[in-house]
Amino acid sequence: MAWPAWGHHGQVNPDPPYRDDQWWRHHFSGPMLDLWRAIVPVQQALDDADFLVRHLGLQPGQRVLDLPCGEGRVAIELAARGCRATGVDISPGLLALARTRADARGQAVRWIEGDMCQPPAGETFDAVFCWGDSFGYLDDAGNAQFLRAARSALRPGGGFALEVQMLAELLATRFAPQASGRVGELQVDIRRQWQPGQPRMAVQYELRQGAQVHCCHASYRIHTLDGLCGLLRAAGFEHLQALDPAGQPFGSAAQCLRLVARAPG
Q: What is the pLDDT of residues 68-103, one digit of tens each?
A: 999 999 999 999 999 999 999 998 888 999 999 999
Per residue in 103-154, pLDDT tens?
A: 999 999 999 999 999 999 999 999 999 998 889 888 899 999 999 999 999 9
Q: Which residue in 153, 95, 72, 155 sits closest to 119, CA to CA?
A: 153
Residues 6+ apart with CB under 8 A from 171: 201, 222
Query: Distance between CA 29 and CA 70 in Å, rounded?
Result: 11
| Domain locations along the chain | 38-166+223-262
Per residue in 4-21, pLDDT tens?
A: 433 343 343 334 444 456
Query: Distance between CA 213 and CA 25 in Å, rounded?
Result: 20
Residue 115 exposure: Cα atoms within 13 Å on the Cβ side: 12
Residues present in the chain in total = 265
Q: Which CATH architecture has domain 38-166+223-262?
A: 3-Layer(aba) Sandwich (3.40)
* Residue 226: C-alpha distances to residues 39, 80, 256 (Å): 30, 35, 15
How remote is the C-alpha of 199 from its chain's centroid?
Answer: 18
Q: pTM score, two decimals?
A: 0.87
Query: Distance between CA 53 and CA 166 in Å, rounded?
Result: 24
